[in-house]
Amino acid sequence: TPSPGCSNAPSEGELGYGLRPGKFTNFRRELLNTQRRTHRLHLPDNYNDDAPPPLMMYFHGWGGNHDSCGDTCSVTALEKGFVVVTMSGYGRSNWGSWKIGGSADSPGPLGPI
């Protein structure tokens, strides 16, 4: 059962507003008024507001960014009907990390997302 709000279309100004199936949008977030990072939201061709699809979130390895996933995110996951969100870690340019101070540790089962 989808959580409340899953089937609500975004309002103007919200992430995903106006995004059509098969398209993506890059969005930016700022950390502590110091760092800005670009992330990406991509909808599959078969996206339907009436049936919330599965979500795949991609967290790159050390030094990567939201473009590092390649065909796994931009082709394969979309063909399987996933909404894909690819993230860019924070840190100095080309040193994207999932810990603010910089680390090779990965988010997920062993750490917070």
Digit-coded pLDDT (tens) for 4-21: 556 567 778 788 888 899
Asked if residues 41 and 14 have their Cβ atoms less than 8 Å apart, the reply is no
Cα–Cα dist 59/113, whole Å: 9
Q: What is the pLDDT averaged over residues 47-62?
A: 84
- Strand duo 35-42 + 55-59: pairing: unpaired
Q: Residues 92-109: pLDDT tens digits?
A: 666 676 665 555 555 555
Query: Tokens standing for 106?
Result: 């990965």
What global pTM score does this model have?
A: 0.73
d(CA 55, CA 35): 26
Q: Is the pLDDT of residue 76 over 80?
A: yes
Lowest mean pLDDT among 21-25, 41-45, 90-94: 90-94
